[in-house]
Amino acid sequence: MSDSPKPAPRFKFPTAYTILFGLIVIVAGLTWIVPAGEYDQVFNETLGKEVPVPGTYKEVAPNPQGFGAVILAPIAGFYDPVSYEANAIDVALFVLVLGGFIGVVAKTGAISAGITGTMRALRGREKWMIPILMSLFAAGGTTYGMAEETLAFYTIVIPIMIAAGYDTMTGVAIILIGAAMGVLGSTVNAFATVIAADAAGIPFTEGIVLRLVILGVGWLICVAYVMRYAERVRRDPSKSIVADRKEANEVHFLKGGSASEAVEFTLRRKIILLIFAGTFAVMVWGVAAGGWWMAEMSGLFLVSAILVGVIDRLGEEGFTTAFVEGAKELLGVALIIGVARGIVVVMDAGHLTDTILFHSAQAMDGLSPVVFINTMYWLEVALSFFVPSSSGLAVLTMPIMAPLADFAGVGRDLVVTAYQSANGLVNFFNPTFAVVMGALAIGRIPYERWLRFVLPLCGVLTVMIMATLSLGVAIG
**Cα–Cα distances in angstroms (integers) from residue 265 to residues 10, 117, 272, 315, in the given order:** 47, 8, 11, 21
Most trustworthy range by pLDDT among 63-72, 186-195, 401-410, 432-441: 63-72
Per-residue model confidence as pLDDT tens digits over 287-332: 767 878 778 989 999 999 999 999 999 999 999 999 998 888 778 7
Better-scored residue on pLDDT, 358 or 413: 413
| Burial of residue 261 (number of CB atoms within 10 Å: 0-12, 13-18, 19+) | exposed
Distance CA 246, CA 403 (A): 52
- Average pLDDT of the residues in 413-430: 94
pLDDT for residue 153 is more than 90: no
pLDDT band for position 364 (50/70/90)?
confident
Mean pLDDT lowest for which of 68-82, 99-113, 203-217?
A: 99-113
pLDDT of residue 260: 45
Q: What is the pLDDT of residue 294?
A: 79
Q: Between residues 458 and 154, which one has the greater pLDDT? A: 458
Helix (H, G, I), strand (E, B) or coil at 59: strand
For residues 363-372, give the mean pLDDT. 86
Which DSSP letter does residue 3 get? P
pLDDT given for residue 466 in this prediction: 97
Query: How does residue 255 score in pLDDT terms, banded at 50, 70 and 90?
Result: low
CB 327 within 8 Å of CB 155: no
Query: 22-43, pLDDT tens digit by residue?
Result: 888 998 999 999 899 988 888 8
Whole-number average pLDDT of the chain: 85
Q: Is 431 helix (H, G, I), strand (E, B) or coil?
A: coil
Please tell me the predicted confidence (pLDDT) of residue 99. 83
Position 93, amino acid: L
* pLDDT above 80: residue 149: no
% of the chain with per-residue pLDDT over 90: 37
Q: What is the pLDDT of residue 460?
A: 97
- Bridge partners (DSSP) listed for residue 42: 51
Is residue 16 predicted with pLDDT exceeding 70? no
Mean pLDDT of 188-205: 81
Given this model, what pLDDT does residue 41 score? 83
- Provide φ and ψ at 241, rounded to 5°: -70, -20
What are the backbone dihedrals phi and psi of residue 314, each rounded to the nearest 5 degrees, phi first? Answer: -70, -25
Cα–Cα dist 82/14, whole Å:
32
Q: What is the pLDDT of residue 335?
A: 83
Interatomic CA distance for residues 157 and 168, integer angstroms: 9
Whole-angstrom Cα distance, residue 150 to residue 474?
37
pLDDT band for position 13 (50/70/90)? low
Q: What is the pLDDT of residues 80-136, one digit of tens each?
A: 888 888 888 888 888 899 889 988 987 888 866 776 676 667 677 778 889 988 988
| Average pLDDT score over residue span 243-248 | 92
**What pLDDT is recorded for position 103?**
85
* Proportion of the chain above pLDDT 70, given as a percent: 91
pLDDT of residue 206: 87
